[in-house]
Structure 1
Amino acid sequence: MPKASEAPQQLILDELQQEPALAAFDAEAAALLNSTGLVSVQPDMRGGWQVLPAGRVGAVQVGDLLVQVRPKAKVGLDRLLFLLGYAQNPGFRPDDVAGAEEKDLFSALAESLTRQGERALARGALSGYIHVEEALRTVRGRIRVGDQITRRPGMLLPLEVSFDEFTIDIPENRILRAALRRMLQLPRLSPVQRGRLAHLDAKLDGVTLLRAGAPLPTWDESRANAHYGPALRLAEIILSNMSAETGLRRQRVASFVVNMATVFEDFVTVALREALTGVPGRTEGQYECFLDEPDGTRRSRVRMFADVVHVVDGKPAAVFDAKYKASSWSGYPNADQYQMLAYCTALSVPRAWLVYADAGQVRVRKVENASVEIVEFPLDLSRAPKELLAVIKYLACRAVLG
C-alpha cells in the first residue's frame, strides 16, 4: 500500500482498483470526497485515509488535492467524452475534444472548452431572434388583448405586448456562457487559462446567466449556428456532469463524475438506433416487457426492461443488453445469462445479444433444451471512435438482417 504523503497534490486510481490508496488530508476534504460518489474514503488505523474507487470515473478537486479515477481498458479522456457526447448527440465527433493531451481531466476540459469557444466566437457572438412577451408603456409588436384584459382590466397602460427581438441572448449563447462560468469556478486553473476563459465570457456580456440546476435551453443545429456545434456539445457535457461549489470552510470544490455503466448503456442504445436507421422497423431503448402472463387477478406481473429492442411489424425481432464489465476466465456471471434467456422467452426471439465493454472474441452459447442462443459480443472501448461505430454497425446488421 502506498505511504501517506504529507501534502498530497494528486491521487490517481484505476476504476477496477481493489487495493486502497493511502493519503493524508483533513476531515473536511474526506467528507467532501465521499459526498461526490467518485471514491469511498475511510480512516486508516495507521493514520491518514484509505481511498477506493466507488464505481464511477472522473475527477474531484478539493483545494489543492486532485483525485482522479480512470476508466478501465485505457479509455482516455477523448474516448470518454466521445462516448458521453455521442450518447447525447450522434453528431458529436472525436475532434470536438481539443485538449485531450492535458495531464488531468479538468485541465483537458478547460482547454477543450477554451479552444472550441474561441473558434465559435472568432466572428463575434451569434445573434438570433427570440420571442418576447413584456408589459410596456408603448406599443411594440402585437398587443396581447386577452392578457391585457385579464391582467389589467380597465387599464390602458402598461400594454401587454409580444414581439420578436434580434439579440445575442439566445439559447446557444446561454449554454456556452454557463459552461464558461462553470469552468471559471475550478480551483486550480492557471492564470493564462483563467484569462482566456474570462475573455470569452466577456464576449458574451449581456447574455442571461442560467440558474444552477435549471434545465438547459434547447437549440437546433442549423447553417447559422453550425460553427457553434462543437463548443455547444462540449458545454452540455460539462453542465450535465460537472459541479463547482464552495465547501464549509470556503474551500473550493469541483467534480466531474460519471457512471460508466450508464454511459456505456446509453452509447450502445444510441449507436444501435443510428446504425439501424433505414432498416424496416423501429429501435426502442428500455423496452418494457413481462416475464409472466396475466393470471386474471390484480397481482402485479414481473416487469422487465430490455436495454435495446428492434421491433418489426409490432413484434420484437432482436434484443440487446449492454454490460459494462470485463469478461473473466469463467465467462459471465450466471445472472447475465438468465436475464438474456428471460428476454428471449418473454419476447419470443431466438437470439439475444449481450454487448460487453471488453476486448475478446464473439462467443455463441446455445441454451440446452431450448431453441435459444445468447451471443456474447465484445466492444473494445480502446478502439478509435470510427472503429467503435463500425463494430456497432456490424452488430446491428448481423442481429437484424442476419
Structure 2
Amino acid sequence: MTQRPKTVQVREHAWLCTEAVAPSLDCAQISPSAFDYLCQLSERFSRSGARLAQVEGRQRLKLDNYVGVLQTPCGTVIEIVPKHHAEGGSLPEARALLRKLLLARLDVPAREVGPAALQLFDAPLSEWVMQQFLQALDVLVGRGLRMDYVRVEEQLPFLRGQLNLNAQLRQPPGKGHYFHVRHDMYGPDRPENRLLKLALERVRQATQSPENWRLAQELSVRLHEVPASRQMAQDFRAWGTDRLLAHYRAVKPWCELILHQHMPLAISGEHQGLSLLFPMEKLFERYVARWLRRALAPGVEMRAPARSQSLCMHDDASIFQLEPDIFISQGTQRWVLDTKWKLLNEADWQGKYGLSQSDFYQLYAYGQKYLGGGGSMALIYPRTEQFTQPLKPFHFDERLSLWVLPFDLDAPMDEQALLGGEHLDMPYATSSGPALALSADKKIIEGIAP
C-alpha cells in the first residue's frame, strides 16, 4: 500500500480554501495544488453543462450539489457527503445516507439489514464501494468463473488443431520445423472476467484499508490466469446477459463504478485514485422513485421519468420536451410528482418557504400537458427539522392543485417515508396509505430470495 493521503471531509455547498481555517463539515482547508485542480475540474464541468463548484477569487471556492469522493493528482482525498439537515448532522449519518441512496441508484439490493448496519463501515464512500466489489467478487470466484473457448493462433513444434496453410507457406527458411496452427483453448479469458480483473487491480492499488488490501491480494492470486481488459468499452458491450451469467449480476454495478462507467464526463477519463461523484438531486430522485414503486399497488403504471409530452408544437414537430420525474396512472386517474433536493423552512412564509417560482411554472406546464389541466401534483423535498409536515396545498385554479411534501430519508425503505402522501389519494399497496406491507424487495434486503 502507498502512503495514506490527506483526507478532507465536507458536505454539499461547503467552502474550500487555501488559508488556515477551523475544519468543519462546512469549511475546510486544502492545498494550493488541490485548489488549482478543483478549479480546472469545475471549468470542465461547466463546459459539459454541470457545475461542480463556484470559484471566488484565488483562495476560496464553494462546492455545489455533487457528493462522493474526489482524489486530486497531489493525493488529497476530498469526501463530500449529503447535507440533509439544515443544522447539525454527523459524518457517519451522512455517509450511511449516501450509501443507501447509492444502492437505490444502482438498483442493488442491500445485503445489510436496516440503516444501522450501513453505519458499521464508517469510511469514505470509495472504500465502501471497493469493499462491496471485493465481497461480491469473492462470492463469485467461490462459485466459479464462467469459462469460454478462445481462438488461439501460434507457432508450435507439433501439430495442434488446424494448420494455417497461408502462414505456413510463408514460413522463413530455418523454421520449417515449426507449425502455424489455430486451436481453441478453454479458459477464463472472457469480457466479464477481464473487466473484473482490471477493476481488481485498480482496487488493489487505490485502497487504504488493510482488510480491503488483503482481500484484493488474495483475489489477485486466484485470478492470475485472467488478463486485464485493454478495451473497457468494448468488453462492457460484450458483457453477457444469459442465465449462465446470472451470478455475475451482483458484482457488475460495483465493477462499473470502479471503472468509471457512471462518472461525470469531466472525470471519466482520469484514473488517479478512485473518484466517485454523483449529483445529489439524481440520487434523491432515484430513491424516491424506488420507494414509490414498492409502495404503489400492483398494476399501477409508473414512469420515472416521463417523456411523452412537449410544451408546444413547431413546424409539425414537438419542441421543448417536458420530463416530470415521476408520472403515475391507473385507469383514468393520473398524478405528476417532481423531486427537488433543497432544504425548505416551513416557518418562512415571507420567504415563500424557500420554494422557487420557476419550479411552480414547471409544474403548471406538467399539469396542463400530463393531467389535462386537472388533478393533483406534488413537489417532494427532503424532510428536515425545519420541514416536518406538508405545506397547505397550492391551487393553480379550482381543478389543478399542488402539494409540497417532505420525504423522510431516515425511514427504512419498507416504511412510510412520504409524509402527507395520503393527500394525493394514490393507489397504495395497503389500504392504510403509504405504509408498506412486506414485499419481495423487502425479502431481498433481508437476504431472503423472493
**Partner SS state of residue 287, structure 1:** coil
Structure 1 Cα separation of the partners of residues 12 and 297 of structure 2: 34
Structure 1 Cα separation of the partners of residues 414 and 208 of structure 2: 32
Change (3 A) 1:396 1:336: same
Change (3 A) 1:234 1:383: farther
> Is 1:307 aligned to 2:325, yes or no?
yes
The residue that corresponds to 1:201 in the other structure is 220
Asked if structure 2 preserves the Cα contact closer than 8 Å seen for 1:185 and 1:244, the reply is: no
The residue that corresponds to 2:376 in the other structure is 351
Greater mean alpha carbon deviation, residues 193-202 or residues 13-22: 13-22
Give the AA of the match of 2:79: Q
Change (3 A) 1:218 1:363: farther
Structure 1 Cα separation of the partners of residues 181 and 105 of structure 2: 46
1:114-153 deviation per Cα after TM superposition (whole angstroms, max 9, x unaligned)? 34443443x36x233547677899769xxxxxxxxxxx9x
Structure 1 Cα separation of the partners of residues 11 and 245 of structure 2: 43
Structure 2 Cα separation of the partners of residues 223 and 400 of structure 1: 38
**Partner SS state of residue 307, structure 2:** strand
- The percent of aligned pairs where both chains have the same amino acid is 19
- 5 Å-filtered alignment, 1:158-173, equals 167-170=187-190, 172-173=192-193
> Is 1:378 aligned to 2:395, yes or no?
no
Structure 1 Cα separation of the partners of residues 268 and 375 of structure 2: 49
The residue that corresponds to 2:65 in the other structure is 55
The residue that corresponds to 1:107 in the other structure is 127
Change (3 A) 1:233 1:289: same
Change (3 A) 1:168 1:177: same
The residue that corresponds to 1:12 in the other structure is 9
**Partner SS state of residue 60, structure 1:** strand
- 5 Å-filtered alignment, 1:71-82, equals 71-73=82-84, 74=89, 76-82=94-100
Structure 1 Cα separation of the partners of residues 153 and 192 of structure 2: 26
The residue that corresponds to 1:324 in the other structure is 341
The residue that corresponds to 2:360 in the other structure is 337
Quote how far apart the aligned CAs of 1:351 are. 0.8
The residue that corresponds to 1:258 in the other structure is 278
- Return 5+ residue gaps in structure 1 as ranges: 1-7, 141-151
1:154-194 deviation per Cα after TM superposition (whole angstroms, max 9, x unaligned)? xxx99999x8x8643455544433332232342x6256643
Structure 2 Cα separation of the partners of residues 272 and 205 of structure 1: 44
Change (3 A) 1:54 1:397: closer
Change (3 A) 1:102 1:288: same
The residue that corresponds to 1:5 in the other structure is none
Asked if structure 2 preserves the Cα contact closer than 8 Å seen for 1:281 and 1:311, the reply is: yes
Aligned length: 362
> Is 1:238 aligned to 2:281, yes or no?
no
The residue that corresponds to 1:4 in the other structure is none
Structure 1 Cα separation of the partners of residues 197 and 64 of structure 2: 32
The residue that corresponds to 1:145 in the other structure is none
Task: Please give the TM-score of this superposition, normalised by the length of structure 1.
Answer: 0.71
Change (3 A) 1:176 1:213: closer
Structure 1 Cα separation of the partners of residues 194 and 210 of structure 2: 24
Structure 2 Cα separation of the partners of residues 267 and 253 of structure 1: 28
Change (3 A) 1:365 1:130: farther
Structure 1 Cα separation of the partners of residues 378 and 318 of structure 2: 28
1:339-389 deviation per Cα after TM superposition (whole angstroms, max 9, x unaligned)? 22221111224111222223421335141533112122221223334447x
Quote how far apart the aligned CAs of 1:26 are. 3.6
Give the AA of the match of 1:14: R
Quote how far apart the aligned CAs of 1:197 are. 1.4
Quote how far apart the aligned CAs of 1:210 are. 3.0
The residue that corresponds to 1:68 in the other structure is 79
Give the AA of the match of 1:67: I
Give the AA of the match of 1:377: L
**Partner SS state of residue 306, structure 1:** coil
Structure 1 Cα separation of the partners of residues 268 and 320 of structure 2: 41
Asked if structure 2 preserves the Cα contact closer than 8 Å seen for 1:98 and 1:111, the reply is: no
Change (3 A) 1:338 1:41: closer
The residue that corresponds to 1:183 in the other structure is 203
Asked if structure 1 preserves the Cα contact closer than 8 Å seen for 2:379 and 2:405, the reply is: yes
Change (3 A) 1:180 1:127: closer
Quote how far apart the aligned CAs of 1:258 are. 0.9
Give the AA of the match of 1:326: L
Structure 1 Cα separation of the partners of residues 41 and 196 of structure 2: 25
- Return 5+ residue gaps in structure 2 as ranges: 18-26, 43-51, 168-178, 434-450
Greater mean alpha carbon deviation, residues 51-60 or residues 277-286: 277-286
The residue that corresponds to 1:3 in the other structure is none
Change (3 A) 1:176 1:304: same
Structure 1 Cα separation of the partners of residues 413 and 70 of structure 2: 26
The residue that corresponds to 2:104 in the other structure is 86
Change (3 A) 1:113 1:300: closer
Structure 2 Cα separation of the partners of residues 218 and 267 of structure 1: 27
Structure 2 Cα separation of the partners of residues 99 and 174 of structure 1: 32
